[in-house]
Amino acid sequence: MSEKGVSGSDGAKRIPAIIEASGVRKSYDSGDVKVNALKGLDLDIAKGEMVAVMGPSGCGKTTLLNCLSGLDEADDGEIVIEGESIVGMSDRKRTRFRAERMGFIFQSYNLMPVLSATENVELPLLVAGVRPKKAHKLALAALEMVGLADQARKRPAQMSGGQQQRVTVARSLVNEPAIVWADEPTGALDSETSKEIMDLLVRLNRTQKQTFVLVTHDPAVAKRGHRIIRMRDGEVESEEKNAGTEDLSNVGARIETNAEAYGSSNAGKN
């Protein structure tokens, strides 16, 4: 069993880094041109943290999300999620790993047009093998949580952009994932609706203790998280903690404590 990412038996209060990435590389070959989208990137994210990833168009933000979440395969590097390495995991196992532990929110809502709000939210549960009746009940509860109980039977085309995005938020959370990945979740929304969606995500982060990694171009969105990671040209350029967010002071310390925990547990074994 891997010792990484699992809280040590010798220290009760350690909160593990839920995402540990090191030396992650990814390049794309399109014709004669090779694009190095990620150039050996290192990143640790603490459990319960809300992290915003920013950076100019083309710097590799979406590639990072896709590789860390296992939607796409990195060429090189180590990616450990909740103590399990997803590098070298079979496609089948990785798909299940994602279905059970991760939720996704994208800019284009990716809702199925012929399905109702409830049916859209049921989908990830049905994929994960939950019985239809139970899936229906959980989907309704998730829609209620995002304030859409009264829209449950509507199809996406009958809802506003903000409502559609709330359906995707409900869908991303219905299986109670440990990690929610969001790629420009408010990119298609006006500033008022964007704030509403962020209020919702921040509330879920604080109450459900889920870890959020969200890519955004909007500084107002990025400010709501605990930490901002700035990328440039396939690498982390800098990072900053956001002053004024709750629980913030603990987050950086958590990761350091965790690194120490790994260090000391390893040292103990040598």
Ligand X SMILES: Nc1ncnc2c1ncn2[C@@H]1O[C@H](COP(=O)(O)OP(=O)(O)OP(=O)(O)O)[C@@H](O)[C@H]1O
Summarize as ranges the residues that interact with Mg ion (CB under 5 A).
62
Mark the segment that binds ligand X (CB under 6 A) among 54-62, 81-89, 151-159, 241-249: 54-62
CA distance 245 to 83: 27
Q: With CB cut-offs between 5 and 8 Å by kind, which of Mg ion, ligand X, none does residue 63 bind? A: ligand X
For ligand X, the closer of residues 45 and 117 by Cβ is 45
Q: Is 60 in the site for ligand X (CB under 6 A)?
A: yes
Q: Is 185 in the site for ligand X (CB under 6 A)?
A: no
Which residue type sits at 220? A
Answer for the pair 4, 24: CB distance below 8 angstroms, yes or no.
no
Read off the DSSP letter of residue 182.
E
> Secondary structure of the chain: what % helix, strand, coil (to 5)?
40, 25, 35
CA distance 5 to 224: 26
* Residue window 61-90: x/- pattern of binding to ligand X, with contact defined by CB under 6 A: xxx---------------------------
Pick out residues in 11-50 that bind ligand X (CB under 6 A).
28, 30, 35, 37
CA distance 148 to 87: 38
For Mg ion, the closer of residues 236 and 248 by Cβ is 236
Q: Is 114 in the site for ligand X (CB under 6 A)?
A: no
Give the burial class of 248: count Cβ atoms within 10 A of its Cβ; 0-12 exposed, 13-18 middle, 19 or more buried. Answer: middle
Least distance in Å: CB of 26 to ligand X? 8
Residues binding ligand X (CB under 6 A): 28, 30, 35, 37, 55, 57-63
